[in-house]
Structure 1
Amino acid sequence: MKIKKSTILASIGSGLEYYDFTIYALLISYISYHFFPSHDKIVSLISSYLVFAIAYIVRPLGGIIFGILGDRYGRKKILVEVMFLMAIVTMTMGFLPTYQNSFGGVFASILFIILRLFQGILFGAELPCALTFISEHTGKNYKGLNCAIMTSMITIGVLFGNGVIYLLSSNLPNEAMQSWGWRIPFILGGLLAFCVFYIRKNTIETPSFVAEIKNRHPMDLKIFAKSFFSGIGILILPSILILSYLVLPSIFIAVNNCKPSDVFMASLIGYAASVVLVPIFGFIGDRIGKKIIYRAALLLILILAYPALSVQTINTIGELILFMVSYQLVISIMAGSYYPMLAENFPTRTRYTGVASAYNFSMLIASFFPIIVASAFKGQSQTFEFFYLSILVLSAIAFVSTLFVKKYSD
């Protein structure tokens, strides 16, 4: 096995970046109370999910802007600057006045939404840049493993977020957590991001980009379009699964009346399993083929999708752990293959722009599915059926898309 130093340096930053962005989902029940209050708990949650989705609307904009800049001026420059900006935005969110505060009110809610929009723009640039950076620094025989290391680091970032919130919710009284405890993860994330900003300054530009500068190739719109749509095809299903998992803890607490510490512990264990599983499947994908691993995950989804509809009855810690680990197993199998497949699907000249565009448009579409999940938990059986049928259709689209995915050399 060969794990590059550049992979570690880029991946640490991506882990914290993902921590900064996903703690919104992990703390959504508290955020909905402080910034989007309502007499109906479900309505308040759905309002928060809409803001969650709004941030994804601007992600493609951030990906396209920074992608063009990264394809023109280099991957390292974007990798460093985005981290610095995200640190500022995340820390600011932790110090905002709330709706109930005399200095807050509607103005506090508006400010929170604006910061979420900035966060969405920056995150639209971060992960695609890190993926492009790692892929171009890695030999063709180890792309799956190195991209899987990045995915595991991202999961560690989310795992860290879950751990922080679990410790806070377990050790602070409910009143303290509701009053000020929810701010701590935002402030901590901002501080750590500043540290990673300095770490990333020690990275070097990718050999592929340096060679491309010396011999610029014209952009082929036809190739770009084919790569873009096939990229979306393989990304949309795992994007939906990932985002749905992020909001499950809040839904289990609000709707299934599960104990918050039990929910966060189960989520923590699920993420811990993913950290180990993703590199394993990334390594296997390098050996037997990434498309084979990806298609195996699609088959597993078809087998497990229908039994998963009984999620409304989950309440005990054992049931929560079993569900979360099984869910992460499916995501881990897919994550070991679709990131390197996406990076290789574009030529160097437009790789960052292409990866960012396909990734962010997939996440944009997927961002509205948590609303469907929340509605399904409210007892709307037709919504559950729609969600199940959507998974089946998207699995078919993903399989067909693998037939059109190309493999361009760096």
Structure 2
Amino acid sequence: MEASGGRPDRHGSRRGEPKATIVDERQAKRAVAAAAIGNTMEWFDFGVYSYIAVVISQVFFPPTSSTAQLLSTFATFAVAFLVRPLGGFFFGPLGDRIGRRKVLATTMVTMALGTLAIGLIPSYATIGIWSPALLLVARLVQGFSTGGEYGGAATFVSEYSPDRRRGFMASWLEFGTLAGYSLGAALVTVLTVAMTPQDLTTWGWRIPFLVAGPLGIIGLYLRFRLEETPAYRKTSGDEQPQTAATWRSLRTIFGGHWRSMLKCIGLVLVFNVTNYLLTAYMPTYLSAVLGFQHTSSLTLVLVAMVLVMGLIVALGRFSDRIGRLPIAGFGSVALIVLSFPAFLLIGVGSVAAVLGGLLIIGLTLVCFSSTMPSTLPALFPTEIRYGAVSVGFNIAVALFGGTTPLVAEALVAATGMKSVPAFLLVAAGAVGLVAVLFTREPAGRALPGARPTATDREEAEQRFREKRDQE
């Protein structure tokens, strides 16, 4: 719905010309739910994969040393991230050309099939080298589909959200991330406690991956119920031609918007290095490096995640009041100052100390997870938003996020220093702080290239006046 103006203004608006978009709040909530479930499913898989990495290493790889098996498992984890930019290059511009909803439905199906396939692959003992080869193919399918998932979901939610509530509504996307991770981790923990090690290794590990089928059907149903975002409908209805091809779109992204792309990569780097070190690496670090029982390691990281999860939407709402950048900047500084103390605390080895260290890292993580879903889409205009966010996000994740567990494990193995992964967090914090300093505050502003959005006509008129004054 559009709010219309009266007499002409200094921007050339005429009587009856739409000035601002009024968003149907119920439809916006459905959009948030449909987008968040994709993140929930993606991170359900990652929670399962990282929590059951020790078992997967025994199932899919030859019985050499346990360190070699773990490194092979994390290498397979990282390879899926290396293909994510290809998914971003393919699905992102496609989402700008044919619509967000169609592409997000496609990525949902592809991701569900890739996860389901892992649960059906025979073990190394059964088919030999074909077992890790098929695991690699399934992970590549997951990575390719995920390349179009996050950028599209963040774009979809941001374009549906009223300007003054975008931080709060978009933060539910990352709440879905930790919810999916926690559900996957909790399921693996229950299976680990309830089953014998032999049964878990023989067949029990397959159960969490097979759950992906029903989750995919639910997500597909929710996404097909949605309409396109108001911003996309407006752009696709303009007389100006849409981007005609993927390569043209990519030239536009890297040519005219390279500064925004660098900011996007920097912000995603600090977000995802922190994210993957805590969620994908710490369960293995606690058991393989510090000697905790595997079940205890799983439980400690899971408890830390659940304790900080509620802060995501609280900080998302707070970011609508004070801005996204102060919160993200605080998180970057916290990484620089507190990463080594956190690892030293974890190294004490008591349950209370380990949980305290994990909570420090978790609290810095929520500074990014609460603000990035609403910050990244605001870097780019509507006509390239899906493609640009997908490409920038996945380049950063492929180079720095998904490789974090592998690099951290290799550093520990090479140096023997238990606290050496903290170097990764300090470096990421420094990059994040630079990116924050060069980024324009997006809170309360209309998305670039889009009209102001609001929940009623009065707010729409006020939002239009605010945007006109800002320009």
TM range (shorter): over 0.9
**1:161 equivalent in alignment to 2:184:** yes
Q: Trace 1:295-334 onto structure 2 (pairs within 5 A).
A: 295-310=329-344, 313-334=347-368
Q: Trace 1:171-182 onto structure 2 (pairs within 5 A).
A: 171-182=194-205
Identify the residue that residue 453 of structure 2 maps to in structure 1. none
CA distance in 1 between counterparts of 2:200 and 2:427 reads: 41
**1:263 equivalent in alignment to 2:288:** no
Identify the residue that residue 42 of structure 1 maps to in structure 2. 67
Identify the residue that residue 54 of structure 1 maps to in structure 2. 79
Deviations, residues 259-280 of structure 1 (Å, cap 9, x unaligned) = 2221121122122123201111
Deviations, residues 374-405 of structure 1 (Å, cap 9, x unaligned) = 134437157955x5444334323222222332
Deviations, residues 321-374 of structure 1 (Å, cap 9, x unaligned) = 222222211100121222211110010010011100111011112222212321
- 3-state SS of 2:257 partner: helix
| Per-residue deviation, 1:311 | 6.2
How well do the aligned residues superpose, as a CA RMSD in angstroms? 2.0
Q: Trace 1:91-240 onto structure 2 (pairs within 5 A).
A: 91-101=116-126, 104-215=127-238, 216=240, 220-221=252-253, 222-240=255-273
Q: Trace 1:331-410 onto structure 2 (pairs within 5 A).
A: 331-366=365-400, 367-378=402-413, 380-381=415-416, 384-385=419-420, 387-406=421-440, 407=442, 408-409=447-448, 410=450
- 3-state SS of 2:376 partner: helix
For 2:223, the aligned partner's letter is: R
Deviations, residues 279-302 of structure 1 (Å, cap 9, x unaligned) = 111111110011111111122222
- Answer with 265-274 or 341-350: which moved more: 265-274
For 1:85, the aligned partner's letter is: T
CA distance in 2 between counterparts of 1:262 and 1:296 reads: 31
| Per-residue deviation, 1:83 | 1.0
Equivalent pair of 1:372/1:383 in contact (CA under 8 Å): no
Instruction: Decide whether aligned partners of structure 1 residues 312 and 401 sit closer, same or farther in structure 2, where only a CA change above 3 A counts.
Output: closer
How many equivalent pairs are there? 406
Equivalent residue for 1:14, pick from 29, 39, 46: 39
Q: Percent identity?
A: 25
CA distance in 2 between counterparts of 1:238 and 1:113 reads: 26
CA distance in 2 between counterparts of 1:241 and 1:273 reads: 17
For 1:318, the aligned partner's letter is: A
CA distance in 2 between counterparts of 1:391 and 1:191 reads: 36
For 2:48, the aligned partner's letter is: I
Instruction: Decide whether aligned partners of structure 1 residues 381 and 309 sit closer, same or farther in structure 2, where only a CA change above 3 A counts.
Output: farther
Equivalent pair of 1:9/1:199 in contact (CA under 8 Å): yes
CA distance in 2 between counterparts of 1:95 and 1:118 reads: 15
CA distance in 1 between counterparts of 2:295 and 2:425 reads: 30
The structure having more radius of gyration, on CA atoms, is 2
Long gaps (5+) in structure 1:
none
CA distance in 2 between counterparts of 1:393 and 1:18 reads: 25
Equivalent pair of 1:153/1:275 in contact (CA under 8 Å): no
For 2:119, the aligned partner's letter is: G
Deviations, residues 186-237 of structure 1 (Å, cap 9, x unaligned) = 0012322222212221111100000110124676554421111111111101
CA distance in 1 between counterparts of 2:100 and 2:334 reads: 36
CA distance in 2 between counterparts of 1:114 and 1:362 reads: 22
